Amino acid sequence: MHSAQGPVTAPAPSKRKLFLLLCGVSVGAAFLAYSGITGRAKGMQETAAWTEAQSIPTVSVVQAKRGPQSEDLTLPGSLAAMSSAPLYARASGYVSAWNKDIGARVRKGDVLAEISAPDLDQQLAEARATLLQLEAAVQQAQANSDMSEATNRRTSRLVQQGWSSEERGDTDRFTAASRTAALSVAKANLVVQQAVVGRLEELSRFKQIRAPFDGIVTARTINVGDLLTAGGTAGRPLFRISDISRMRIYVDVPQAFLAAMKPGLKATLSVPGHEKSFTAEVTSTANAVSEESRKGLVELQADNPNGDLWPGAFTQVQFHIPSNPDTLRIPVTALMFNRNGTFVAEVQANKVELKPVNLGRNLGNDVEVRSGVMLSSRLIDNPQEFITTGDTVHVAGEPLAQHTASAN
């Protein structure tokens, strides 16, 4: 027989355990909430600090430097002979011979070429014959004048003694005066003809082309048989003679360096094709600046005893310019320009201060500064135009945290 038995019932939890469980859940939830709020606040602070740090511009800085005791300035130049003369024909005719070719060294007066001028020779012969004729005419006029003077003196005495009429005396007196005048005319004609002969003789000397000074033949354009016309300067010269014992060098110097181009300033010449260099010195300047190029012409001279330097050649001229080592220089990229003048942006304790500067020579990449900058100044390189005094900046290469703290 089976007996009927009811279901087994679990005992109910106590109220104390339930309370403890609820408290634990509440504390955990509160801790999790506090941790989340704290972490989010810290993250927001870090984000704000990072954003503020990123808003500070990062700049590169440069510093001024002293100039050297002396500096070299290299510029292109052109060589020219100390003296150079193109020779043209002064007598018309044909080239009968030439004696000197290009490269020949000549002395003053050397015959370079000879011209055959038959027309000129004929004119000279005719002029000399006319001169002889006029000399005879002067002698004849002189004799007539002397005879008339003698006759006039005799007639005057006879008139005074009453042996001759006054009419005869007047006639002899006027005849003597007329023949004296004729003598003067004959003498004047003789002088004129002497001048004609002298001119033709001088032209005859030009049948020989002679060197005007010691030098070298740098050009010859004639050959035997060439027809030459007197005074034909519109064409090419027959010869060109150049004195290259001493050379001139012409250089266009920028305006910033013209003040240093004093007579006696030394320079070194480098000529393509020559391994050795040559020494030159400044002799003069044009005392003017070209409005187009803002450059001035400077002349140097150099001895050339061996003839190594040739007229017309290109050369590099290296000037050795004395410099003031106390003058400071900064890169031109550190300059700022506005309507108020020229400034630099100096960084002190991560703060910007715009300072006006007085500039000296422009040296290309650098510029001399007469005032406004010290050797210890840290200047922003390539400053942005919106930078103003009081701005905070971060110097590249320095810890960012340091500048962030400074900004805060």
Question: Which pLDDT belongs to residue 397?
Answer: 79
> For residue 139, which of 173, 182, 175 has the smallest C-alpha distance?
182
Question: Which pLDDT belongs to residue 229?
Answer: 86
Instruction: Supply 13's token pair.
Output: 């939890």
Q: How confident is the model at residue 15 (pLDDT cuts 50, 70, 90)?
A: low
Question: Which pLDDT belongs to residue 405?
Answer: 46
Q: For the segment 222-257, what is each residue's pLDDT rounded down to a tens digit?
A: 999 999 888 765 667 999 999 999 999 999 999 888
Q: What is the mean pLDDT of residues 28-55?
A: 59
- Looking up tokens 């304790």 gives 349
Q: How confident is the model at residue 27 (pLDDT cuts 50, 70, 90)?
A: low
Question: Which pLDDT belongs to residue 13?
Answer: 53
Which of 237-241, 298-302, 347-351 is the least confident region?
347-351
Other CB atoms within 10 Å distance of the CB of residue 403: 19
> Which H or E run includes 394?
strand 394-395
Question: Which pLDDT belongs to residue 261?
Answer: 93
Highest mean pLDDT among 39-43, 59-63, 314-318: 314-318
Q: What is the mean pLDDT of residues 118-131?
A: 93
Question: Which pLDDT belongs to residue 180?
Answer: 87
Q: What is the mean pLDDT of residues 337-366?
A: 88
Q: Is the pLDDT of residue 114 over 80?
A: yes
Is 213:242 a contact under the CB 8 Å cutoff? no
Q: What is the mean pLDDT of residues 107-114?
A: 95
Q: What is the mean pLDDT of residues 45-56?
A: 59
Is 115:228 a contact under the CB 8 Å cutoff? yes
Question: Which pLDDT belongs to residue 313?
Answer: 96
Highest mean pLDDT among 33-37, 149-153, 206-210, 385-389: 206-210
Question: Which pLDDT belongs to residue 247?
Answer: 97
Average pLDDT, the chain: 84
Q: What is the mean pLDDT of residues 288-295?
A: 93
Q: For the segment 376-396, what is each residue's pLDDT rounded down to a tens digit?
A: 889 989 898 888 888 888 888
Say how far apart CA 29 and CA 56 lie, in whole Å: 41
Is 281:265 a contact under the CB 8 Å cutoff? yes
Helices (H) and strands (E) in the chain, counts: 5, 23
Q: Is the pLDDT of residue 46 over 80?
A: no
Question: Which pLDDT belongs to residue 225?
Answer: 92
SS3 123: helix
Question: Which pLDDT belongs to residue 48?
Answer: 53
Pick the CATH number of 58-67+326-407 from 1.10.10.10, 2.40.50.100, 2.40.420.20, 1.10.600.10: 2.40.420.20
Q: What is the mean pLDDT of residues 286-308?
A: 94
Question: Which pLDDT belongs to residue 156?
Answer: 79
Say how far apart CA 238 and CA 221 lie, in whole Å: 5
Q: What is the mean pLDDT of residues 52-74?
A: 80
Q: Is the pLDDT of residue 115 over 80?
A: yes
Q: Is the pLDDT of residue 335 over 80?
A: yes
Q: In terms of pTM, does the model score above 0.75? A: no
Q: What proportion of the chain, given as a percentage, has pLDDT over 90?
A: 46
- Looking up tokens 């007229």 gives 311
- Looking up tokens 């050339």 gives 304
Question: Which pLDDT belongs to residue 372?
Answer: 86
Say how far apart CA 68 and CA 159 lie, in whole Å: 107
Question: Which pLDDT belongs to residue 50?
Answer: 52
- Looking up tokens 């500070």 gives 56
Question: Which pLDDT belongs to residue 3?
Answer: 43
Q: Is the pLDDT of residue 210 over 90?
A: yes
Instruction: Supply 22's token pair.
Output: 């609820």
